[in-house]
Every structure is written in structure tokens, then in C-alpha cells.
Amino acid sequence: MNMDLKNKRQTSKNKNFCQAFGHAWDGLTTLCCNERNFRFHLVTTAVVLTAGLTMRVGYFKFLWLVLACYLVLQAEVINTLAEYLVDLTIGSQYNDLAKKIKDIAAGWVLFSTMLAIVIGLIVFGTTIIKLI
């Protein structure tokens, strides 16, 4: 391993806001570049929010759409963290507890998505009925 690269790896607390922001940006980049499901949820969020703006659902209903999309994205981030932590802990070995942890984290994403769908149906359903 290159000695310069090894010396640049940070193992201590962030020294300033810019350094912390850089690490946070790296995390978002990792999510967007490496996690297919996160990208899918981002695209879905863009479609839903664009539809909300296009259909002029109103400020309060639009906030519900934003909240629903945020909850799904947040659940996907937690799911990804759980997967990475489990993989870091057990490696490529199979473990029943690790499977449960990953399944529960994925279930959280599914639950959040179902709630977002219900919110979307309520928001867009009433708006479509008003347009008809």
C-alpha cells in the first residue's frame, strides 16, 4: 500500500466543519454510486415531487409527499448501514442472526414504502378527483 495513502486515512475525530462536511459528502456519494435501491428511491422521489408540483397539490399536501419520500430514503440509508455493519462483522459467513438483522432492516424500508404509497394515494387521489 502506498505510504502517502495510508497516512491520509483519518482515524480520529473531525477537526473542523469542512472536514466533517467532506466525509458526509463522501457518504452521500457512496450511497448514490454504490447502492442501486437508494438510486431507485431517489428517482422515485424526484418523480413524486415533480408530479406534486405539476398537479399543484397544495402546500400542506406537498409537505406530506416530502415527508413520505424522506422516510423511505431514511429507511434505505439505515438498511444500507445495517447491511454494511453486518457484513463487516461476519464477513461472507452465513449467520442466522445476521439474516434477521438484514431482513428487519429491509422490512423497515418496505414498511416505510407502504406508508409512502398510502400517503401518495391520499394526496394524488383527492387531487385527481378534484380535477375530474
Which residues are catalytic, by number? 76
Residue 23 burial (10 A CB sphere; 0-12, 13-18, 19+): exposed
Residue 90 and residue 19: Cα distance in Å, rounded? 30
Q: Are 127 and 107 in contact (CB under 8 A)?
A: no
Residue 132's identity, in one-letter code, is: I
Please provide the DSSP assignment of 63-75 as one string. Answer: HHHHHHHHHHHHH
CA 17 to chain centre: 23
d(CA 58, CA 16): 40
Residue linked to cell 431507485: 40
